[in-house]
Amino acid sequence: MKNVSMYTLSTCPWCFKTKKFFTERKIPFTYIDYDTAEEGMQKKILEEVDAYGATGFPYVNIDGVIIVGYQPQRYLSALGI
């Protein structure tokens, strides 16, 4: 199974849909809600997101493949499904 991690916002409907997408398919993932993270973690997240050039959430990393936004077909492709 590929490693899936994401940065999300606790109030973002697209972030909620993204988590639900992986949960319903029983695909393990980790996530950090940017808006509820400690200041040091927020800084780290912003550095990573800015380095990639992303402008929003969710920010999904599937074994090094970055997908920004709710994009189910791209998730499946990156997972090899």
The one-letter amino acid code at 21 reads: F
Determine if residue 17 is left, alpha or beta; phi over 0 gives left, psi from -120 to 50 gives alpha, anything else beta: alpha
Residues 2-55 have pLDDT tens digits of 999 999 999 999 999 999 999 999 999 999 999 999 999 999 999 999 999 998
Q: How confident is the model at residue 60 (pLDDT cuts 50, 70, 90)?
A: very high
Q: Which residues pair with 30 in a beta bridge?
A: 5
**pLDDT for 78 beyond 90:** yes
Which pTM was predicted?
0.93
Whole-number pLDDT of residue 1:
81
Q: Domains for the chain: give ranges and CATH numbers.
A: 4-79 (3.40.30.10)
